[in-house]
Structure 1
Amino acid sequence: MNDFLPEDTIEEVRQHFDLVEVISGYTSLKKAGRNYTGLCPFHSEKTPSFTVSPEKQLYHCFGCGAGGNVFSFIMSQENLSFPEAVKFLANRAGIPLPERQLSEEGKKIKILKEELAEINELSMKYFRQALFKTEMGKKALSYLTGRGLDKEIINKFQLGYSLPQWDKLINFLKSKGYSQDNILKAGLASRSERGSYYDRFRNRIMFPIFNQQNMVIGFGGRVMDDSQPKYLNSPETILYNKRKSLYALNFARFQMRERDQALVFEGYMDVIIAFQKGLENCVASLGTSLTEDQARLLRRNASKVIIAYDSDTAGEAATWRGLDTLSSAGCRVKVAQLPPGQDPDDFIRKKGINTFHEEIVKKALPLIDYKL
């Protein structure tokens, strides 16, 4: 984007914002003479070493050396490239940006991404309607409340329910003008050997997966009985790449940065119950082995990472696979150990979040000790 955005447009976006006001949305600042000071949002500290100059519209941390203007700040805090940061701020300011001259193929990809994003957003709303407004959804809602979730947390994570019929969602989306092919490309439909389309997710609790800009990029679906597979996730799509995604990072990143610590769970429910109880620096790895991309995402938001996977064999194997990946990315890694047969969700619901923090998080073993 930078090579087709005029410099005067970039400057217009920069001048629109007061850096003090922008940064105050991420950390508390206090007036100190001609400048403002506060705790650095880039590293953990107890004594403020972060300074913002309203006159120069620049910031600098005397502790970690971070510095720059409104664009570099947003790039770091929102994990965006420079062009994405310009667009992010321009959208907030209501400043129109010139369209990039795309190739015909580029235009097709852009249009497809936009349509798949619409399909995902509409499907999330459909699943939520099914959860709260249908008779069959009452069973799913009862399941969630039986697992200890309240309505506030269900709404925060936009949980829903997929009806058991084979083509309910497909027919709904088709009625809104979307093609079966694009519903398939969004990962919400499957196609039989005979070429017929059917809903990928049926009779499952639905967990929307968001990117860091709060766009729905995929879904996870969980059964409410012993049928298999227990979890079914979206396939890889033009929007969703599991290797580059962390569930709930859009919610957790601010607490991760403030505490300079991230808790990595295995499952959706582990994260949601922890959030409900006030532990908001946790994410799920959307699989049993952390990738290099996921490790880099974690390191950008926190230097200390605690892996708290399930205590079963699969969890232990997943922990081993992820440890070296995290360490190579520059994270200081610890491993939390849960009682046999328990996952974080079980432990938190039975013993409470304070006990989980004291007995599991605080007693997590450093990497070298865990390997011994």
Structure 2
Amino acid sequence: MITQDSIDTLKSRLDIVDVVGSYIELKKAGANFKAPCPFHDENSPSFVVSPAKGIYHCFGCGAGGDSIKFVMEYEKLNYPEALEKLADSYNFTLTHTDNKHNKPRSQVMDKLNEWYQNLLTTKQEALEYIKERGIYESSIEKFGIGYAPDSNSTLNYINSQGFLLSEAIDMGVVGYDGGRSFARFIERITFPIHSANGSIVGFGGRTITGHQAKYVNSPETAYYNKSRLLYAYHHAKQTLYKTKEIIITEGYLDVIMLHQAGFTNAVATLGTALTPQHLPLLRKGEPRVVMAYDGDSAGRAAALKASKLLSVGGFRGGVIIFSDGEDPADMVQKGAIDELATMIRKPKPFIEFVLEELLSLYDLRDPKAKEECMQEGVAYLKTLSPILQEEYKTFLASRLGGLGVSPSLLKFSQDTNQNNSPLMQKNTHKDMWELTLIKTILEHPEFIDQILDVLDASLLQFHSREFVLALQGRVDEPALMAIIVDDKIQALKDEDALKNELIAFLSKYYERELRTINNQSSIPFEKKAFNIRKIRDKIAKLKKGELVAFKS
């Protein structure tokens, strides 16, 4: 069993935006972050993450909780499994009441990487290749470049260090097939792949002995997901937060050479195209994104896909396509640093790149092809905002044939069902005064006694249940989470403000009570007169600025 102290320490290290943002793309919305809910289908975002409160809440389906609850729900894990998952992500070792479980995460990746690095110094062929590519010794050290030998040598080393092969299999550096184990990286230069927090979670390998696959990456594991990670992100994140810019390339060597040339905000995808799962990581720091891709057909296709994804996601930036078979590493090696810097400063904007690439795929001399191109271009523009649609339909029309195609031919139907409603649901009445009182209780529990002296839940017309939950401190209840994360509801800051609001509320309440009693004919005259005098006395005191005790 995991100790409570250990759980509390882990919780103190968790950042709700970091945790949730590693699974879904979050967008800043005031003090909070918003996204379409991952737990139910919806078109407009009703899922809110509050970094100040450390919780999330969906106003559509009611899902809510903290970082641990989110991982449990998203990954379909139980509580201990979610704790272990988060502890691994944050390089944290959980403590168990049973000492046999108190072992740190396997160090097989770190040990293996150290060994690979030492072997590199003895492998002349690998060193010569690295030198030919222009990589400095300082970069070899910074990026942890190494060399993986034959399979048996790797397996023997793992055994000699006291690691179980099952650990190495779980981490993806050893495979198992047909009753035999084998190293996944054989006679290759190795590039360790790190999580965003800096832990080694996989390797990339480049052959130097003519293997059919020039590059291979670790398989996906519980720790390594190539669609969520970017090579060297842990090195680049400090610069990208400072410069508000990130450069995405296609290869390890491109990244290493760009860092050598001073572009220390460069990263690379890991043998895959850019995916929607990358967007949460790219959103951090809100950087301008520059895609630096090769000019071959595969590079242009990858750049087109990425540009569509990023433009629809609202990212700033653009695309650089390298011609004549060059890549960023080649330009750095030949000393074209200034030229490269100019290209990075002035990339082709994403939307323009997408439209021009689409146009290049059709023979625009053929009217039918021109029509098909227009339809594909319009379909893409419909994924953008109305303002961008209007801005770029003229651009598309002019490229389709100058005066031959009028922008009026490009039709965009507007979605009249867009939900621009506030966070609170429309079909339920929300009383802002009562919600403000409840949020005040949640944020200032020291005011509870003052509040309970003058009112109780029965006086609230719409939110008496939430009022009781707040008094009980039940912040894990969805109804309270909705109040906590709603920026429109502001807690009262001091006792004077609270007193004034209570006087105003109670004055209206007792005036309603007075009208109700006056209209009652079923009670005896003496009792009715007594109740009227009592309520009028309270109203008089409230008008003098005095709070009056409540008695049910």
Shared topology, TM-score over 0.5?
A: yes
Equivalent residue for 2:297, pick from 283, 307, 313: 313
Equivalent residue for 1:181, pick from 148, 166, 171: 166
Q: In the alignment, is the contact (CA less than 8 A) between 1:312 and 1:342 conserved in 2?
A: no
Deviation, 1:285, is 1.0
* Higher-Rg member (1/2): 2
Q: Deviations over 1:142-196 (max 9, x none)?
A: 2111211111111000100011x23111111111122222222221122343x12
Q: Deviations over 1:286-343 (max 9, x none)?
A: 1241111212211113331011012211111111121222233331130112113111
- For 2:298 and 2:8, the matched residues in 1 are separated by 55
Query: Identical aligned pairs, as a percentage?
Result: 31
Q: In the alignment, is the contact (CA less than 8 A) between 2:190 and 2:203 conserved in 1?
A: yes
When you count strand as a share of all residues, which structure comes out higher? 1
Residue identity opposite 1:341 in structure 2: G
Deviation, 1:208, is 0.1
Alignment of 1:316-331 (within 5 A): 316-331=300-315
Residue identity opposite 2:259 in structure 1: F
Aligned to 2:143: 157
Unpaired segments of 5 or more residues in structure 1?
A: 14-42, 44-66, 73-80
C-alpha change, 1:342 and 1:170, in structure 2 (3 Å) is same
Q: Which moved more, 1:265-274 or 1:206-215?
A: 206-215
TM-score by length of 2: 0.47
1:148 aligned onto 2:134: yes
1:264 aligned onto 2:248: yes
Residue identity opposite 1:361 in structure 2: I
Equivalent residue for 1:362, pick from 318, 329, 345: 345
Aligned to 2:154: 169
Q: In the alignment, is the contact (CA less than 8 A) between 1:124 and 1:160 conserved in 2?
A: yes
Residue identity opposite 1:307 in structure 2: M
C-alpha change, 1:129 and 1:304, in structure 2 (3 Å) is same
Partner SS for 2:124: helix
1:126 aligned onto 2:115: yes
Q: Which moved more, 1:242-251 or 1:308-317?
A: 308-317
Q: In the alignment, is the contact (CA less than 8 A) between 2:307 and 2:351 conserved in 1?
A: no
Deviation, 1:82, is 6.7
Partner SS for 1:161: strand
Aligned to 2:218: 234
Q: In the alignment, is the contact (CA less than 8 A) between 2:226 and 2:272 conserved in 1?
A: no
Q: In the alignment, is the contact (CA less than 8 A) between 2:176 and 2:182 conserved in 1?
A: yes
Deviation, 1:233, is 0.4
Q: Deviations over 1:108-139 (max 9, x none)?
A: 8x96x812xx111111011001111x3xx122
1:296 aligned onto 2:296: no
Aligned to 1:200: 184
Aligned to 2:197: 213
- For 2:277 and 2:11, the matched residues in 1 are separated by 32
C-alpha change, 1:321 and 1:5, in structure 2 (3 Å) is farther
C-alpha change, 1:188 and 1:97, in structure 2 (3 Å) is closer
- For 1:200 and 1:330, the matched residues in 2 are separated by 39
1:275 aligned onto 2:259: yes
Equivalent residue for 1:114, pick from 105, 120, 124: 105
Deviation, 1:11, is 12
- For 1:345 and 1:255, the matched residues in 2 are separated by 19
Residue identity opposite 2:227 in structure 1: R
Q: In the alignment, is the contact (CA less than 8 A) between 2:307 and 2:353 conserved in 1?
A: no
Q: In the alignment, is the contact (CA less than 8 A) between 2:204 and 2:216 conserved in 1?
A: yes
Q: In the alignment, is the contact (CA less than 8 A) between 1:274 and 1:353 conserved in 2?
A: no
**RMSD of aligned residue pairs (Cα, Å):** 3.5
Partner SS for 1:301: coil
C-alpha change, 1:198 and 1:9, in structure 2 (3 Å) is closer
Partner SS for 1:309: strand
Deviation, 1:5, is 5.7
- For 2:316 and 2:183, the matched residues in 1 are separated by 42
- For 1:161 and 1:126, the matched residues in 2 are separated by 8
- For 1:97 and 1:197, the matched residues in 2 are separated by 29
Residue identity opposite 2:105 in structure 1: E
Unpaired segments of 5 or more residues in structure 2?
A: 14-27, 29-49, 56-65, 69-82, 357-552
C-alpha change, 1:265 and 1:177, in structure 2 (3 Å) is same
Q: In the alignment, is the contact (CA less than 8 A) between 2:93 and 2:105 conserved in 1?
A: no
Deviation, 1:12, is 9.9
Q: In the alignment, is the contact (CA less than 8 A) between 2:227 and 2:272 conserved in 1?
A: no
C-alpha change, 1:197 and 1:98, in structure 2 (3 Å) is closer
Q: In the alignment, is the contact (CA less than 8 A) between 2:245 and 2:289 conserved in 1?
A: yes
- For 2:11 and 2:319, the matched residues in 1 are separated by 46
Partner SS for 2:255: helix
Residue identity opposite 1:114 in structure 2: R
Q: In the alignment, is the contact (CA less than 8 A) between 1:204 and 1:222 conserved in 2?
A: yes
Q: Deviations over 1:53-83 (max 9, x none)?
A: xxxxxxxxxxxxxx988x99xxxxxxxx978
Deviation, 1:98, is 7.7
